[in-house]
Amino acid sequence: MKRQSQAMLLGLGAVLLWSTVATAFKLSLQVLAPVQLLLVACAASIMVLGGVLVAQQRWHLVFRLSGRQYVQSLLMGMINPCLYYFLLFGAFDRLPAQEAQPLNYTWALVLAYLSVPFLGQKLGLADILAGLICYGGVVVIATRGDPLSLTFSDPFGVALALGSTLVWSSYWIIATRDTRDPVVGLFLNFVFGLPVIALACGLTEGFDFLSFQGLAGAIYVGVFEMGVAFVLWCWAMKKAENTGQVSNLIFISPFLSLIFIHFILGEVILGSTWVGLLLIIGGLWFQQHAGRPPRVQGPAGG
């Protein structure tokens, strides 16, 4: 099989997994608090990423970093998983999955905007028009089809969702200067983040979450959203001869996600959700094809 075909299959696998996690978030959050979900998911992800490093005989790389890189791991761990998933899970806890999930996809646009002050990139007309289109979609979704009223279904939930896009984009801006192996870096970020998450959980919700549904969902999120999907995406980008073709697979994910949300969670997908999602994806597609795509490209995220 050609390298590009392998890359497309790996990328498609990652996208399919990311398409299921919004549903897993909501199922878990029915019985777990966001911080409890994050604690279990983070621990599961550490096991998966550590297993990948052992299987690839790269475990020794974990212990061959400089002191500065370990400090970097600590600081980046405070951003991802700690802050990012606190905000993301908080948004899913307050909003229907069909609202929280499309809002999260605007991170790619935020990334382009943050690249201007922090990476010295120029903001083009395509970026501005894409912003108007995408955030028009955000308003349509958040107001449930009544954008002129500007009455949001849950203003704080929407703020958490949009805040998560800012944090996720900032993480990938910082990652442009990260010289660590990607899997090693993410593994250490999660290792350093786990004690902070455990402390927050102990001080707030506690550790009484022995529910099969909650634990199963949280483990699924940690294994597939935070672990396997990231590794598959890294392999896909590494093998790709044309990374643009692989990156375009991301546009499939939100539509598949709504199908899972409807048939598994039983949410009735509103017409405003489809319209808003089309605007968001259309804006991102326009930005990518009418302008210059940002040099920073990370995974899709939740």
**Using CA atoms, how far apart are residues 38 and 128, in angstroms rounded to an integer?**
35
- Joined together, the tokens standing for residue 152 give 């949001």
Q: What are 131-169's pLDDT values in tens digits?
A: 899 999 999 998 888 887 767 778 999 999 999 999 999
- Better pLDDT: 293 or 232: 232
Q: Output DSSP code: residue 84.
A: H
User: How far is the CA of 17 from the CAs of 130, 241, 300, in angstroms?
Assistant: 27, 23, 11
Whether the predicted pLDDT of 291 surpasses 80: no
Helix crossing, 155-174 with 84-94: angle to 10°? 160
User: How far is the CA of 115 from the CAs of 12, 66, 122, 135, 282, in angstroms?
Assistant: 27, 27, 8, 18, 21
Q: What are 9-60's pLDDT values in tens digits?
A: 999 999 999 999 999 999 999 999 999 999 999 999 999 999 999 999 999 9
Task: Give the distance, in angstroms, between the CA of residue 249 and the centroid of all CA atoms in the same chain.
Answer: 15
pLDDT computed for residue 247 by the predictor: 80
pLDDT band at 177 (very low <50, low <70, confident <90, very high): confident
pLDDT computed for residue 240 by the predictor: 85
φ, ψ dihedrals at 198, nearest 5°: -65, -40
Average confidence score pLDDT of the chain: 90
pLDDT computed for residue 292 by the predictor: 55
